[in-house]
Amino acid sequence: MRKKIAIFILIGWLLLIIGDRVDELRVYQGAQIAMYTIALASIVLLTGYSGQVSLGNGAMMAVGGYGAALTLNNLNT
């Protein structure tokens, strides 16, 4: 368990360092890949266990996207 936490912290730390050293396009592309990966993992988890797609999953993704857009607009000004 400690090894998994250490790996998670190391990856997060590396992403913070790399984020300052690459151009904005690559950061944007990486963020898009991460968002779609999380969305895909949630759909696979939801349909894999129950076999049904819930509308609540889409609603939570919409709320997360709205929050990300607000954060992006407020931090870039």
Segment 43-53, tens digit of pLDDT: 787 777 667 76
Predicted local confidence at residue 31, as pLDDT: 83
pTM greater than 0.85 (yes/no): no
3-state secondary structure of 2: helix
Name the band, by pLDDT with cuts 50, 70 and 90, for residue 77: low
Compute CA distances 2 → 6, 9, 12, 28, whole Å: 6, 11, 15, 31
Of 9-13, 16-20, 56-60, give the range with the top mean pLDDT: 9-13
Distance separating alpha carbons of residues 16 and 46, to the nearest angstrom: 30
Across the range 59-70, mean pLDDT stands at: 87
Q: For 14-24, what is each residue's pLDDT tens digit?
A: 888 887 788 88
Chain position carrying tokens 């993992």: 41
53 touches 46 (CB < 8 A): yes
